[in-house]
Amino acid sequence: MTKLLCCALLLLDISIKWTTQETFPPKYLHYDPETSRQLMCDQCPPGTALKQHCTTSWKTVCVACPDYHYTDRWHNNVECLYCSPVCKELQYVKQECNATHNRVCECEEGRYLDLEFCIKHRPCPPGFGVLHPGTPERNTVCKRCPDGFFSNETSYKAPCRRHTNCSDFGLHLTQRGNATHDNICSGNSESNKRCGIDVTLCEEAFFRFAVPTKITPNWLSVLVENLPGNKINAESIEKIKRRHSSQEQTFQLLKLWKHENKDQDMVKKIIQDIGLCESNVQRHMGQANLTSEQLHRLMDSLPGKKVPMEDIERATKTCTSSEQILKLLSLWRIRNGDQDSLKGLMEALKHLKTYHFPKTVTQSLKKTIRFLHSFTMYRLYQKLFIEMVEKQVQSVKISCL
């Protein structure tokens, strides 16, 4: 049955081709009164109109369409068609009329034809994305953003966008997005978060001056009292006290203070300087590129309590090569009652000679140390922050000792 149908269609197809080929130019039947015969006359081509039917001795005679007239197909009419008059309001001429084409009008950019009028495209509101942008013939098609997508703007073009995947940036999701809002991620320095460097070497270098040599029980409250700018609330201070060893508390507090006052000019400068310091340290450290074995040796060379094996292993897995030493130094510092990481690193460097570390490694460590030294000195004696705070803090330090 289907075979038969198939054959029949094939035959039909062939016959159509055969007949159309056979009848070009297209013909029409005409009764010739002189001979009283039915003749097959040629039709007239586009751009022309019929002037005289064919006879047994003459072919069909066609003439060009007059101005403002057209015919766009083969035919046997004695008249051409009149071109559409001037375009409507808010339309422009897309194609002028000529002998073979009618005039084409189109709505101006940003509008579409609805019955007789050019209507403005509709924009898609927040929560909706553009599925098909408007055309001169059709209005914009909007689509409600599905789960996992959002649009926070009123737009003629913007489709729904996928919510930012916070974990792709090493950040935490703090507020889940919906159709009108993107996910909100938190955590500032992405790689540091994943690797988990809490207080960086630069922050330590910057804030170390505030750590007293002997810590008294009320030290933190005294420091809070004397810091300029927005005060840190009691709840946050309690949290820091609960979570961190007494030595680490100073860094945590200053870090929080920096965050709470980040809009103040003085602090903006500090943040900028610390950022600059960090990119410098990353650059120097990036050249070290220690193997796992070298990292273990380096940690072995540090004085005081050792960082556990599993912590070293974890750091090599979660941190990039330039962050590994920094992470391990911060672990060592915390483990050793807030020793100065920089001094620790210098101490370790002395021992590295016996391990025959490659020159590139020791050199990049030395560069880092040298840089941090200059950074610390510069900060300590020249910056606004010091001028404003140190007097207060120093006097407090002395009175506490």
Ligand X SMILES: *[C@@H]1O[C@H](CO)[C@@H](O)[C@H](O)[C@H]1NC(C)=O
In terms of C-beta distances under 8 Å and separation of at least 24 residues, what long-range contacts does 21-24 make, across chains too? none
Q: Are the CB atoms for 252 and 205 separated by under 8 Å?
A: no
Site for ligand X in 332-361 (CB under 6 A): none
CB of 97 to ligand X, least distance (A): 8
CB of 125 to ligand X, least distance (A): 12
Based on the shown chain and the rule CB under 6 A, indicate whether residue 165 belongs to the binding site for ligand X.
yes
Based on the shown chain and the rule CB under 6 A, indicate whether residue 289 belongs to the binding site for ligand X.
yes
**Angle subtended at Cα 38 by Cα 33 and Cα 39, rounded to the nearest 5 degrees:** 100
Residues touching ligand X: how many (CB under 6 A)?
Answer: 17
Give the Cα separation of 268 and 278 in Å (integer): 15
Based on the shown chain and the rule CB under 6 A, indicate whether residue 190 belongs to the binding site for ligand X.
no
Record the tokens describing residue 278, joined without a space: 């960090």
Give the Cα separation of 308 and 23 in Å (integer): 94
CB of 185 to ligand X, least distance (A): 10
* Binding characters for ligand X, 227-256, by CB under 6 A (x = yes): ------------------------------
* Window of 113-121, 136-144, 167-175, 302-310 that interacts with ligand X by CB under 6 A: 167-175
Based on the shown chain and the rule CB under 6 A, indicate whether residue 193 belongs to the binding site for ligand X.
no
Give the Cα separation of 139 and 121 in Å (integer): 5
**C-alpha 224 chain-centroid distance:** 39
Q: Please identify which residue in 181, 351, 366, 383 interacts with ligand X, judged by CB under 6 A.
A: 181
CB of 367 to ligand X, least distance (A): 15
In the complex with ligand X, which residue's Cβ is closer, 30 or 181?
181
Q: Please identify which residue in 182, 190, 260, 311 interacts with ligand X, judged by CB under 6 A.
A: 182
61: CB partners within 8 A, 6+ apart = 50, 51, 52
Based on the shown chain and the rule CB under 6 A, indicate whether residue 316 belongs to the binding site for ligand X.
no
DSSP, collapsed to helix, strand or coil, labels residue 125 as: coil
Based on the shown chain and the rule CB under 6 A, indicate whether residue 152 belongs to the binding site for ligand X.
yes
Instruction: Give the sign of the dihedral formed by CA 305, CA 310, CA 314, CA 316.
Output: positive
**C-alpha 400 chain-centroid distance:** 51
In the complex with ligand X, which residue's Cβ is closer, 320 or 394?
320
In the complex with ligand X, which residue's Cβ is closer, 143 or 241?
143
Based on the shown chain and the rule CB under 6 A, indicate whether residue 174 belongs to the binding site for ligand X.
no
Based on the shown chain and the rule CB under 6 A, indicate whether residue 191 belongs to the binding site for ligand X.
no
* Window of 15-23, 179-187, 264-272, 330-338 that interacts with ligand X by CB under 6 A: 179-187
Give the Cα separation of 262 and 330 in Å (integer): 24
Query: How far separated are the first and last CA of the chain, in Å rounded?
Result: 106
* Binding characters for ligand X, 79-108, by CB under 6 A (x = yes): ----------------x--xxxx-------
Give the Cα separation of 340 and 318 in Å (integer): 24
In the complex with ligand X, which residue's Cβ is closer, 70 or 257?
70
Q: Please identify which residue in 35, 175, 218, 221 interacts with ligand X, judged by CB under 6 A.
A: 175
Instruction: Give the sign of the dihedral formed by CA 354, CA 356, CA 361, CA 367.
Output: positive
Nearest to 243 by CA among 253, 229, 231: 253
Supply φ then ψ for residue 268, to 5 degrees.
Answer: -55, -40
Based on the shown chain and the rule CB under 6 A, indicate whether residue 167 belongs to the binding site for ligand X.
yes
Residues that bind ligand X (CB under 6 A): 95, 98-101, 152-153, 165, 167-168, 175, 178, 180-182, 289, 321
